[in-house]
Structure 1
C-alpha cells in the first residue's frame, strides 16, 4: 500500500494521507462506528478519553482479523463540536504513533449521537494481504 500525496494540492492539515492505494489481493476489514464506551458501560468525560476508547475498540476489532493500526487505510471520525476536535486528533495521532504509511482521514462535526454524553465516534477501514 502507498500513500497518495499529489504535489499539485495542499498538504494534509494533520497526520493523515490524502489517499491510500491498496494493491489487488488484499483483505478488507471495516469497523462499525465505535463510541467512547468502556467495557463496563461507563462513558468518560472529554473527547480525548472517549477517542482513546474508540481507537482501543478499533484496535481490538482489527486484531480479530490479524491486523493492527498500521493496516488502516481510512479513518472516518465524528465529533459533536469544534471544541472536541483537538482531543480527537491527539488520540488519532497517538494511535498512529510509529505508523509509517498513514491512512486517509475525514473528521466531521455532527449534531449528536444516540446518547448526549457521547462526543466522538470513529470507524476504520483496513487492508492487509
Structure 2
C-alpha cells in the first residue's frame, strides 16, 4: 500500500500523531468502519477512558485483521470523546500501542454524550484493503 502523506510547509505542522492529508493511490479498495465503541467481545465496558480507548483500538485492529488489513492501512480516523484525558494521555497511548508510528489523517471532537452514557469514546475509520 503506497499511501502518500502530505504536511505542506504552508500550514502549521500537525499538533499530534496525525497527518494533514493522506493521498490514496488510484485503483485501491477502501473500507469504511462504523464508529467503534468500547464494548468487549464479552459485552463488558471498561470504567476508565484508558480502558475504553484500548478496547476501541483493539476493535478497529480486529476488524481490519478480519479483512486482511493492517493498522497501517488506516487513511482517516474520527474520534469522539465525552471527557478530557485525565492527564495521562491515555487515548494517545492507546493509539500509539495499536498504530505505532502510523499517522493517518485525523479529527477529534468533544461531544456531550454518546449513544450509551457509559461510553467515553467512539472512533470511526477509513482504511485501504490489500
Output the TM-score relative to the length of structure 1: 0.91
Q: CA deviation at 1:68?
A: 0.9
Number of equivalenced pairs: 127
Taking structure 2 as the reference length, the TM-score comes to 0.90
Gaps of 5+ in 2: none
Task: Extract structure 1 runs of 4+ deviating beyond 3 A.
Answer: none
Q: CA RMSD in A?
A: 1.5
SS in 2 for 1:31: strand
Task: Report the CA distance shift for 1:117/1:84 in structure 2 as closer, same or farther (over 3 A).
Answer: farther
Report the alpha carbon displacement of residue 57 of structure 1 after superposing the two structures with TM: 0.8
CA–CA distance in structure 1, aligned partners of residues 18 and 80 of structure 2: 16
Correspondence 1:62 to 2:64 = yes
Question: Among residues 69, 74, 77, which one is paired with 2:76 in the alignment?
Answer: 74
Task: After TM superposition, list the pairs within 5 Å mapping 1:50-129 onto structure 2.
Answer: 50-83=52-85, 86-99=89-102, 102-129=103-130
